[in-house]
Amino acid sequence: MHDHFIEDPLDIREAIAEVPSVVAAIAACVDGSPVVMVATSFTVGVSYDPPLATIAVQHSSTTWPDLAAAPTLGISVLGDGHGPHTAQLASRDRARRLHGIEYVAAGSGAVFLDGAHSWFECSVEGVHRAGDHDIVVLRVLRVARDAARSALVWHRPARSRVAVDAQP
């Protein structure tokens, strides 16, 4: 174990950002139009019975209030081919986030991006304040995956392709 622990908040933030995580798009139809936001905090396996997942959403998000009201959310774990589109999906220009990106809107209102590694249809189970974020607990209603695609992973603030695939 390393003996030198750091306490500086900026150093802690940088160290946390270096932990690899998948990049997920959270999307739903709101008032007839698709709305999407990106998160690198999607966690699965929080519970298996019932199946639960979580995302962390900044309090400053202007997109989350719209998505939070949707009855179902589509979570698309981005595939390795989405790398060039992550900045666009996360941009402040909500109207252009999905421009040129193919997606499917399910009858439930959940929206799923084509080319993803896996897709989770979820409903919001609960929301808990945690510092400058809310932890959103999601009930997984159904799931699909593409075993041929690798997940897009965020690491050391650069998007990189890491061999994380959905082998049955």
Model confidence pLDDT, tens digit, residues 72-110: 999 999 998 888 888 888 888 888 999 999 999 999 999
pLDDT at 38 over 50: yes
18 within 8 A of 101, measured Cβ to Cβ: no
The whole-number pLDDT of residue 156 equals 63
Average of pLDDT values for 41-64? 94
Angstrom CA distances, 35 to 17, 21, 115, 155, 165, stand at 26, 22, 18, 26, 27
- The residue among 67, 71, 62, 80 whose CA lies nearest residue 117 is 80
pLDDT at 4 over 60: yes
Average of pLDDT values for 41-56? 94
Q: Among 17-21, 61-65, 82-86, where is mean pLDDT lowest?
A: 17-21
The whole-number pLDDT of residue 124 equals 97
Average of pLDDT values for 5-21? 83
The whole-number pLDDT of residue 166 equals 46
The whole-number pLDDT of residue 13 equals 79
Q: What is the CATH number of domain 22-157?
A: 2.30.110.10
3-class DSSP state of 10: helix
CA angle 123, 54, 65 (to 5 degrees): 60
Integer Cα distance of 151 and 162 in angstroms: 7
Mean pLDDT score of the chain: 88
Q: Among 9-23, 80-94, 98-112, 131-145, where is mean pLDDT lowest?
A: 9-23
- E strand or H helix at 56, and its extent? strand 51-58
Integer Cα distance of 76 and 144 in angstroms: 10
- The residue among 83, 77, 98 whose CA lies nearest residue 24 is 77
